[in-house]
Amino acid sequence: GETWDGPHQIRFFQNDFAVGGDPVVAFGQDGTVYITQISIGFEEFRIGQLLSSALVSTLIVARSDDGGITWSDAVPAARSTVQASSQLDPEGRERGTIRSSFLDKQWLAAGPDPNNPDNDILYLAYTDFTDTNGILYADELPFLTAITRETTIMSVRSTDGGLTWSAPVPVSPTAVVALEGAASAEGEEAGEAAAEANAQDDEGHTDQQPGENEGSRPERFVQGAQPAVMPDGTLVVAYYDSTNDGPGEGLSTIMVASSTDAGLSFGEPIQAGVFKEARGRNRTTFFRQGGLPAIAVGQNGEIYIVAAGVPTEKPVDDSDIYFLRSTNRGVTWDLPVRLNGDDTTRLQFFPAIGVSPNGTIHAMWGDMRDDPDEVRYHIYYTESQDGGSSWGFTLPEQGFTVPDTRVTDFPSNALRGFPGGAFLGDYFGLAATDEDVFLVWADTRLGEFGGPNQQIGFARRTAIAPPELFLNPPSGVAGRDVTIQGFSFQPESNIAIDVGGVTITNLRSDDQGEFTTNIYMPVTGEGPRNVTAYDETGNVATASFYTEFGFDSIARELNDLRGGLGTPAAPTSSGFSPAGTPAASGFDLAGTPPAAATPVPAATPTADDDDSP
């Protein structure tokens, strides 16, 4: 992770016209890389003499055998459909229903075939949104009217490396929302079906009887499936269930369904946890966030989940991060444990989780605790070395323990990201080995210094050498030429070099992230001047050039001459006197970099890492 190349893109499905996002990467046992994303297209349909079209999505998967440099042409793992039925009403006008689906929020996992552990099976879990529409007439003009929306968590699998995929299998029950068009004759029938389909109480149990909530409109919604494969090949899928009060309101549950036959069928989903639901959007920013789960599995039947929820003891809190654990393959679940250790009511969001082969559990999330305005976020991280019973870090020599630590050295302003600050994605990501931990997130730090900017931030626990600048010579007279060498910048990136806060040249790093250039130092007074280089991903390094002889040196010598001749001395320019010049920073006069220091709040030590977007 010290340097990156690319991006190396995959193409959307050849029958479609655009890509729809939600990329997910998975690795097979043999190192093959698989990637999935949404491809967007249209499909025409006809009701009698009426012709129209609907938006459809294809969940595509491509593979790479060379570590992601080149990719196969994408194949469809699942595609949404449009189905229409029609009949004439007594007035001879077309009537009927149109059922159109859209597939969303897919997640990809690879794991051993339970019948042949040396072979991988790929699993793709996703949400199937199916809308039912009827036909209404305004005079003689037909219009579609929405009646119901169904959501179901589905799963498909591939046993041949992603070349072909199975038919979809339901993971969850189907949740139904009665929409505004349910006032039509078709809608009344659909609304009754929705109430029956959503026979579930607010704890997520299916013991509510149809008709108990007559007169209310059910708004149950399932979304955000994540699959994981245990070492023995058991497949587990976690997903979010809004319960009948709808998304962003009241209570929500995290549900888990398991398959012991390699994804051919799933058992009844089990409730892993229930939360007071986080708002769909924070009160101080515009990006959407909520309670979608992230899942990881251990070596001995453990299942670990993290999700965001509103703490009952702090009702004005926007959301905290909670850990859920089952040690018996999902049969029973412990009570949720809060991971973020702050005492504020500020937002935590987008948690991710991973497990090292040695059993250490790692968790990360976005966190606004450090910003009283609650618009800027840092990345926070914590770990558990005892299976989730305790979390945090202890410094024995200092007798100091903290529940979590800050990863990023500069905050991201959520309002300065994706145009209008409306979208930071839906997930952050984490992967871990026994030796290291790797984090990725949406990073908007550069938006503070220009137009909206959003990039992929990356950090690892093992320290990455920071960018460096070397000046030759590190000191001299004003106006002389100086050679600048840069190391450990982003490869093949645009570089801007500032002297004293003024950009004086632009260049480009080579494929090793290095560059060499010559500049003329500006004519200034005696003293140090900072030379700073930035690349376009936000990496920055600073060195110092000491001007030994500048125009205030001439003024000082003239004053000395006047003093020797008995002539009143002229005042020197205080703005360029050594006393008025700020101290050098970044490098000493010999060109040797001092130890780097990252400012953090005194109450929260930082992890020993380096990060860059």
The 3-class SS string of 216-284 reads: CCCECCEEEEEEEECCCCCEEEEEEECCCCCCCCCEEEEEEEEECCCCCCCCCCEEEEEEECCCCECCC
Q: How far apart are CA 591 and CA 485, in angstroms?
A: 11
Of 505, 512, 451, the closest CA to residue 483 belongs to 505
Contact 459, 611 (CB under 8 A): yes
Sorting pLDDT into bands at 50, 70 and 90, what band is 218?
low
The residue-averaged pLDDT of 119-137 equals 93
Reported as a single tens digit per residue, the pLDDT across 33-62 is 999 999 999 988 888 777 888 899 999 999
How confident is the model at residue 350, as a pLDDT? 97
Q: How far apart are CA 316 and CA 341, in angstroms?
A: 17
Sorting pLDDT into bands at 50, 70 and 90, what band is 525?
confident
Sorting pLDDT into bands at 50, 70 and 90, what band is 559?
confident
Whole-number mean pLDDT of the chain?
A: 85
Angstrom distances, CA of residue 339 to CA of 225, 262, 314, 388, 441? 22, 33, 15, 10, 18
Residue type, 210: P
Reported as a single tens digit per residue, the pLDDT across 431-475 is 999 999 999 999 999 888 888 899 999 999 998 888 999 999 999
In the predicted structure, residue 207 carries a pLDDT above the cut 70: no
- Classify residue 346 by its DSSP letter: -
Sorting pLDDT into bands at 50, 70 and 90, what band is 183?
very low
How confident is the model at residue 180, as a pLDDT? 64
Contact 41, 14 (CB under 8 A): no
Angle (CA) 151 157 159, round 5° = 175
Whole-number percent of the chain with pLDDT over 90: 58
Of 152, 210, 213, 217, the closest CA to residue 187 belongs to 217
Greater confidence, 185 or 217?
217
The residue-averaged pLDDT of 153-169 equals 97
Reported as a single tens digit per residue, the pLDDT across 279-314 is 888 889 999 988 999 999 999 999 999 999 999 888
Angstrom distances, CA of residue 25 to CA of 64, 466, 530? 11, 27, 42
In the predicted structure, residue 590 carries a pLDDT above the cut 90: no
Q: Tell me phi and psi for residue 124, to 5 degrees.
A: -125, 110
Residue 610 buriedness (CB in 10 A; 0-12 / 13-18 / 19+): buried
How confident is the model at residue 380, as a pLDDT? 98
Greater confidence, 134 or 108?
108
Angstrom distances, CA of residue 396 to CA of 274, 402, 577, 607? 36, 12, 48, 16
Whole-number percent of the chain with pLDDT over 70: 85
What pTM did the predictor assign?
0.81
Question: Lowest-confidence range among 128-142, 440-454, 509-523?
Answer: 128-142
Question: With the CA atoms of 303, 307, 312 and 317 taken in that order, what torsion angle do they form, in degrees rounded to the nearest 10?
Answer: 150
Buried b (16+ CB within 10 A) or exposed e, 136-167: eeeeeebebbbbbbbbbbbbbbbbebbeebbe
Copy the structure tokens of residue 518: 């010559």
Sorting pLDDT into bands at 50, 70 and 90, what band is 517?
very high
Sorting pLDDT into bands at 50, 70 and 90, what band is 553?
confident
Of 79, 89, 191, 170, the closest CA to residue 137 belongs to 89
Q: How far apart are CA 292 and CA 257, in angstroms?
A: 15
Contact 28, 158 (CB under 8 A): no
How confident is the model at residue 596, as a pLDDT? 39
Sorting pLDDT into bands at 50, 70 and 90, what band is 566?
low
Q: What structural domains does the chain harbor?
A: 278-326+337-465 (2.120.10.10), 468-580 (2.60.40.10)
3-state secondary structure string, 83-139?
EEEEEECCCCCEEEEEEEEEEEEEEEEEEEECCEEEEEEEEEEEEEEEEEEEEEEEC
Reported as a single tens digit per residue, the pLDDT across 394-408 is 888 888 899 999 999
How confident is the model at residue 214, as a pLDDT? 39
Q: How far apart are CA 588 and CA 528, in angstroms?
A: 10
In the predicted structure, residue 238 carries a pLDDT above the cut 60: yes
How confident is the model at residue 94, as a pLDDT? 79
